């Protein structure tokens, strides 16, 4: 996986503070700079959560940040029929997880990537969006490497956490089911978009014992969305990429990948650009299990 870095930061403005549970973020709230975070570090309701390798967190992290174990959100039951590698956990479990990290209903949340793993951070963002907290969640552009590259302070001190209470308001327009995808193949105005690396989309490499992509899907690889420093590309450049993939203004996007992690970054960028977007959580893992469901390969 390409070393890509993002951090998510809860956007603190009067508009964000007033955002009701259930709102989605937009371009004005979803990305913030290191300058912004440095200026708001002492805001009383700011909850900064670090995503990545815990050993790297121990070597140095943004002051005041609390470590979030990504595997606490890595819900799966492979013993169950139809079990998947990665699924959105039940809302009560999510409320408990974030509450233990000090998040409350009044929190402005910060998620930032410690090292590599922008897709994990984006997956956490999607999780918060599904909980109804999207309008108050943002991405810190560049993550910890940019923060450190600007000679901003880090610490090894781990602060005490006061548990909080989080009340989700679950959103129905974040996750798409297999039935939803199947019903909308080649549907005008609905774009199924594959976020995997190009060799999987083309069929040159197989995934989950099946080659190709969902029939009618287009390709926007997750690795193409950030620049070489791990920062989000400009909105203009991103829009050009989406148009080149056949995505038109006003279309709905259904993003998928191998298991639903890489496509979380495509989900985030799609929201950032103003698209109505869903994540097919089962992704290719679930689609490939059904030989009756159509797949295509790129003709050479």
φ and ψ at residue 169, rounded to 5 degrees: -125, 90
CA dihedral 66, 106, 10, 156 (to 10 degrees): -20
Evaluate if residue 146 carries a pLDDT over 90.
yes
254 neighbors 280 (Cβ within 8 angstroms) = yes
- The answer on pLDDT for 257 being more than 90 is yes
pLDDT of 1 above 50: no
Which residues pair with residue 66 across a beta bridge?
49
Residue 299: exposure state from Cβ atoms within 10 A (0-12, 13-18, ≥19): exposed
H-run or E-run covering 175? strand 175-176
Burial 189-201 (b: 16+ CB within 10 A, else e): ebbbbbbbbeebb
Q: Residue 176, class by beta-carbon neighbours within 10 Å (0-12 exposed, 13-18 middle, 19+ buried)?
A: buried
Strand partners, 8: 111, 139
The SS3 of residue 88 is coil
Chain segment 27-69, per-residue pLDDT in tens: 988 988 999 999 999 999 998 999 999 999 999 999 999 999 9
In this structure, what token pair is assigned to residue 67? 């470590």
Q: How confident is the model at residue 178 (pLDDT cuts 50, 70, 90)?
A: very high
Tokens for 231, please give them.
């920062």
CA 134, CA 100: separation in Å to the nearest integer?
A: 19
CA torsion sign for 141, 270, 260, 167 is: positive
User: Would you give the distance in Å from CA 66 to the centre of its chain?
Assistant: 19
CA-nearest of 236, 238, 213 to 224 is 238
Pick from 74-83, 236-245, 291-300 the range whose average pLDDT is largest: 236-245
Asked if pLDDT for residue 149 goes beyond 70, the answer is yes
What residues are paired with 190 via a beta bridge? 252
Residue whose entry in the numeric block shows the structure tokens 């297999």 = 178
Coil, helix or strand at residue 107: coil
What pLDDT shows up at residue 3? 43
- As a whole number, mean pLDDT of residues 160-170 equals 95
For residues 130 and 183, what is the distance between their CA atoms, to the nearest angstrom?
22
The pLDDT-based confidence of 147 (bands split at 50, 70, 90) is very high
Task: Report angle CA 5, 8, 13 to the nearest 5 degrees.
Answer: 145
Rounded CA separation 138/141 (Å): 9
What would the two tokens of residue 57 be?
């967190």
Cα–Cα distance measured from residue 156 to residue 63, given in angstroms and rounded to the nearest whole number: 8
């Amino acid at each position: 996986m390409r070393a890509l870095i993002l951090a998510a930061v809860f956007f603190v403005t009067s508009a964000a503070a007033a955002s009701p549970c259930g709102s989605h973020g937009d371009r004005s709230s979803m990305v913030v700079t290191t300058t912004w975070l440095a200026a708001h570090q002492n805001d009383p309701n700011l909850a900064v959560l670090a995503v990545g390798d815990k050993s790297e967190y121990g070597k140095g992290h943004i002051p005041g940040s609390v470590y979030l174990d990504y595997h606490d959100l890595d819900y799966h039951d492979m013993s169950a029929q139809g079990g998947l590698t990665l699924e959105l956990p039940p809302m009560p479990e999510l409320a408990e997880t974030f509450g233990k990290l000090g998040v409350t209903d009044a929190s402005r949340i910060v998620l930032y990537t410690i090292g590599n793993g922008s897709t994990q951070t984006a997956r956490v963002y999607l999780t918060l969006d599904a909980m109804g907290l999207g309008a108050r969640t943002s991405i810190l552009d560049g993550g910890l490497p940019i923060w450190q590259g600007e000679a901003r302070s880090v610490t090894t001190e781990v602060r005490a956490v006061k548990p909080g209470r989080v009340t989700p308001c679950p959103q129905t327009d974040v996750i798409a089911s297999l039935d939803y995808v199947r019903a909308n193949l080649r549907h005008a105005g609905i774009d199924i978009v594959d976020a995997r690396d190009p060799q999987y989309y083309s069929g040159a490499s197989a995934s989950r014992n099946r080659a190709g992509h969902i029939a009618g899907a287009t390709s926007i690889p997750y690795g193409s969305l950030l620049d070489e420093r791990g920062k989000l590309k400009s909105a203009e450049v991103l829009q050009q990429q989406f148009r080149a993939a056949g995505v038109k203004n006003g279309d709905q996007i259904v993003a998928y990948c191998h298991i639903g992690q890489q496509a979380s970054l495509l989900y985030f960028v799609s929201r950032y650009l103003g698209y109505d977007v869903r994540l097919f959580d089962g992704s290719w893992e679930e689609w490939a299990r059904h030989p009756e469901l159509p797949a295509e390969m790129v003709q050479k």
